[in-house]
Structure formats: structure tokens, C-alpha cells
Chain A
Amino acid sequence: MTPSLITFYALAGLLVISSLLVVFQRNVVHSAMALVAALCLIAIFFLTLHAPMVGVLQVLIYAGAIMVLFLFVIMFLNPAALEQRRVTWWSLGTIAALLLAGAFVAVMNGSEPTPDPIASTELFGSPEMLAKSLFTDFVLPFEIASVLLLVAIVGAVVLAKREH
């Protein structure tokens, strides 16, 4: 067992536990906090894979912004009073989970265990590399994504303002 392998299994174990907590917690706020923990663990995974930029963005965007809004909504709506568990959702969810697990097994069967990750170049995973590929090779998808976000924001403002 190399140190990096030990780190991997420790992180992976914690990640599985926190992901299970997201699903099995009855309290929605507890679920949300478990999801925050899972997102942070994924960010640490990115750090061990020499991609600090992606890891930091993971924390900044998912844990720092999106989950805060989730919590916001959860606290306002108090969903415990809104919905009881229904059998149909359970069965649909189980089928979807089984399909996903089957896909994972199929993918993992065909792959070799990877050796310790090594950064291919000095700049690998750096903000410079990421920015360069975003603004050269992937500039069109990047711009489309930003226009899409802008449309969503404008739409939200219009919906919120309509009543006045």
C-alpha cells in the first residue's frame, strides 16, 4: 500500500459514507450537510489528482454557492411538512440506482487499476491551462453556457417581477 493509495481509500470510504447519509437521513438539512461534506471530499480527490483549480472551483461553486441556496430554500419551505414518502418514488429510484450500478460495474470491469497519478506537465491542472483551453478549443461551448446562464437569470427576474 503506497501512501497515495491509503489516502485514496480513506477518502473514498468517507465519500461513500457521506453519500449514503445524503440518501438515508430523514432530516433534509442533515442530508444537505452530508452532501456538502461529499462535495468537499470530491474537491480533495481533485487535489490528489493534481487538479487544484477544479478542486477549488468544486468548493467555491457547489459547496459555497449552490448548496447555500439549497439550504435557503429548505429552511423557508420546511419540506418535512410538505411531503410523505410515496412507494412509487421508492421503486422508480431503486430501478434507476440499479441501472446506474450496473453501468458502473460494466465500466470498471473493463478498466485497469491506474498507477499513482502524476502530473503530465508542470502546468497540468493550473488556472492558466484551464483558461487557455476554455478560451481557445472550447470557446463556443463556453460562450453558449454563459448565455444560457444569463437567460436563466433574466427569466428568474422576469418571473419574480411579474406580479407587480
Chain B
Amino acid sequence: MIVDVAIVAAKSVLVLVMVLNLAGMLGWVERKASALIQDRIGANRASILGFAGLGLINTMVADPVKFLTKEDFIPPQGDRFLHTLAPCMALFPALVTFAVIPFGDVLVLGDRVINLQIANLNVGILYVFAMASFGVYGIVIGAWASNNKFSLLGGVRGSAQMISYEVAMGLSVVGVLMVYGTLELQEIARGQGALIGEVLPQSLRFLKPAIGWLPAWGIFLQPLAFLLFFTAAIAETKRVPFDLPEGESELIAGYHVEYSGGKFLMFFAGEFAEIVTAAALTTTLFFGGWQVPYLMRDGFHFPWGTVWLLPQIAVVLMQVGAFALKVVFFCWLQILIRWSVPRFRYDQVMRLGWKMLLPLALVNVIITAIVIVAVQ
């Protein structure tokens, strides 16, 4: 009993620390990446007590210290309580979503089998959407409690945008759920361990020499769903090209214009935690999660027949490493997109969400259903 609790606590702390650290590092990566893209040098002047030797680490330490020591200003006409609550509500959903994201298969220690996922809920992906829908409050409440018209406009834009794209995001995932036949993220990740050659129905066997060697990842079985999901996920993080709630050229900083110090840091960290969450979900649903191609529980089984046996601990380490690598890649991709494209107009954001993503997601669901019924 106590050991079980300790294992869950250890997993939670591990995941939380990893996500927060990655979010913190992304803050630095974003500055350097934007500098790289715009042909600048970027943040390079953080000197702590006269020592500027370790560029990355110095900036990473200096940033939060600067935020935390700044004055925390609450607008006198604003709502003290809700103004303080809002940043917590912005950060909370992004962090708790990780409870259902699997970061490895199972770790066998003696007679104990540890599932490398904090909570194995049978509602799986629905929990993710429930938490995502909770994210709107941080923006709306923060915007309202600031008693500032720019904030309120940002909050209204943000809530409308997030609700709209949640619909498209939810529908885009339905195709994936149909293909793998489960809501549990761990099962979806396991289902992607097979090869396409193994899951091909009898009627499509002639395709086996051409594509049979590919792993049955979501990206190969549901390519359209991936594009829809990733677009909607970027919109949910409220970053360029979907940064209308912030819109610095129109709304100064939108919903967090009246925030400073530690509370602004929480909004900031929440945004980067959302990037990590979006990357982890994309990885889990479409890129095999923790799967390494051809790596089974006992080692590599290549489609041409070669088998490399590996000890269990090496397999687990490779799986966790593969998951981390994929997540970092998708974080990088999101930062790249953010600095490569201009902002949409608000009517374009709404049109893209409701008139393009939503119908395409519905079409994807219908086609997936027809194909599944036809080949069975």
C-alpha cells in the first residue's frame, strides 16, 4: 500500500519536474530561436553577480528571479481575489493533463509491474479535453478581474477562440479513437507498436510489400487528423498565428496586460506548459508515444527477420528517451511555426475553425468509419 502510494508520488514528481523544466527551458529556446530566425543574437547578457559564463543556465536562472522580485501590481479598481486566482487557473490545466499521458510502457522491478503513466483512467482522452476546457477560465477571469478594456477584449476573444477550437480538436481525435478502438492513451500508444503489415485487413494484403514495414503510427493511419489536431492545438495555446487574445499591436498584451511579477510568470509558464502538453499529446496520438520502431519488450525485431535482444531496463530507457525526444521535437516545431507566420485576422481565425477544421474533421470521421466497416 505505502509502496504503491510512493510509486505514484514518485511518478507525479518526476513528470511535474520534467514538464516545468522543459517549459522553463522553452522560454530561453524561444528567445534564441526567434533571434536565429530574425538574424539577431538574442538573449546573451544575463550576468549573475558578475558571472556570465554559462549563457543558457544564467538566462534560465535570471528570468524567474527577475519576475519574482518585480512588484506584483493589482489594479485598484480590479478584483483582488480573482486577479490572484486567474494565473493559477491558467497554469493548472496544462500541468494536470500530464496525469494520463504515458511516457513509457511498463517497468518490471522484481514482481512489481509499474505502468509508466501516472493515472490509467478508462476515460483517457476525455480527461484531457475536460482539463483543456478548464483552461479558458484563467483567461476570462484574469481579463475580467483586471478591470481594463484591453484585457476584457482579449479575454472575450480568447474564450471564443478556445471554445471554437476545442470542438474541432475533439472531433479530429475521434478518427484516431476509432482506429485504435480505445480512449486510453496507454492503449493507443501500445496499438502503435504494431507494423502496418500486421494490421492490414485481408483485402488490402497486396499493399504489404510497399508499406508493410511502416509502424502503425497515427500519422500513417490518420494523416488528416494529425494536421487538424496540430492546428487546433496551436490555436489552443493562443500563440501566433492564433495570438488574438494577446494581440500586442492591438490589445497591448490582451488578457494579461495588468499582470506583473510572479503572476505574469505563471501565465508565461502556463503558455509554455501548454506547448509541452500539446507536443506530448501529438506524440502520443500520432507518433507512437514512447514507441521506438521495431522495439518490442525484449529487444528489436526488424521486419527482415533480424532480432537484437536487449535487457528490459535498456528497452525502458530507450522508450522514455524516445518519448522525450519526440516531445522536444514538437515543442521546437511549434516555436518554429510561431516565429515564421504572421497573425491571422479574427474573422479568419473563426472561419478556419468553424468552416474548415470542423467540416474536415467530420469528413475524416465519416471516411474512417466507412473504411473500417468496408475492410472488416
Give A residues with C-beta under 8 Å from B.
Answer: 27, 29-30, 33, 36, 52-53, 56-57, 59-60, 63-65, 68, 71-72, 75-76, 126-127
Contact = CB atoms under 8 A, between A and B. Distances in A.
Contacts of B144: 29, 71, 75
A52 B160 CA distance: 28
Tell me the interface secondary structure of chain A in the complex: helix
A63 B134 contact: yes
Contact of A59 (B85, B134, B166): B134
Nearest to A40: B134
5 contacts: A27-B79, A33-B137, A53-B126, A64-B130, A71-B140
Given A29-B79, A127-B183, A60 B129 contact: yes
Contacts of B159: 68, 71-72
Contacts, number: 72
The 4 closest A-B pairs by CB, nearest first: A64-B133, A60-B130, A59-B130, A56-B123
B199 to A, nearest CB: 21
A127 B79 contact: no
A53 B130 CA distance: 11
Tell me the interface secondary structure of chain B in the complex: helix
Interface string B128-146: 0111111011001100100
Interface centre among A30, A57, A65, A68 (most CB of B within 10 A): A68
A60 B82 contact: no
A68 B140 contact: yes
B352 interface: no
A93 B131 CA distance: 34
A57 B130 CA distance: 7
Contact of B123 (A63, A71, A75, A127): A127
A52 B120 CA distance: 11
B134 A64 contact: yes
Contacts of A63: 133-134
B127 A56 contact: yes
